[in-house]
Chain A
Amino acid sequence: DAKTTQPTSMDCAEGRAANLPCNHSTISGNEYVYWYRQIHSQGPQYIIHGLKNNETNEMASLIITEDRKSSTLILPHATLRDTAVYYCIVRVAKGTYKYIFGTGTRLKVLA
């Protein structure tokens, strides 16, 4: 089954770029990588997803390595409000519809 691995925690200075890595070396060929964040105990919020190419939206950028075994979520100018737990997820296996979250990365943006 595919799964993801992320660092437990990271700090980032306010105004700097926050780069959050995710390893998904067991991902299947046509599976997307999705990123979410969870602020305090609120429901997770979708951020961005990608397959092969780099993606950008109003919230973040996503860089996926050419071999698709890892990706990096980039918050270009982190603010205190970006302090949250960030999750990258993939579908567990083709033919299933399970998405497993794991423990995520706790990002703390420092003033």
Chain B
Amino acid sequence: NAGVTQTPKFQVLKTGQSMTLQCAQDMNHEYMSWYRQDPGMGLRLIHYSVGAGITDQGEVPNGYNVSRSTTEDFPLRLLSAAPSQTSVYFCASSYSGDRGKAFFGQGTRLTVV
């Protein structure tokens, strides 16, 4: 099993550009989530999904969109990148019977200039 795979690992965007961060898991987990981590800070929840077709907002959802068309994939879209979105983004997945026990990807380091 590959676990949780995030692509790309690094990305530089110009202000106003849009892009999609990819997240895929091969563990058949129903619960998936996106966090961002700013330098020296903890993780903040952006969006999460409890299953295909179901998503909800976390702590800091503004400026981001998500959708969940399959169990395996949970992409995060930045609609119009801003320097404040410079951060490391982590995707996580967990089994529906124990959502708190999550497996994390290795992160995408995004810089918006």
Contacts and interface: CB of A to CB of B under 8 A. Distances in A.
B41 A103 contact: yes
Interface in A40-98: 41-46, 49, 85, 87, 89-91, 97-98
Contact of B100 (A34, A43, A85): A34
Contacts of B106: 42-43
Contacts of A43: 4, 90, 92, 104-107
Interface in B57-105: 58-59, 88, 90, 92, 98-105
Contacts of B59: 98, 100
B107 A101 contact: no
A58 B109 CA distance: 31
B21 interface: no
Contact of A87 (B31, B33, B42, B99): B42
Give the residue among B4, B33, B56, B102 with the most A Cβ atoms within 10 A.
B102
Interface of B: 4, 31, 33, 35, 37, 41-45, 48, 50, 56, 58-59, 88, 90, 92, 98-107, 109
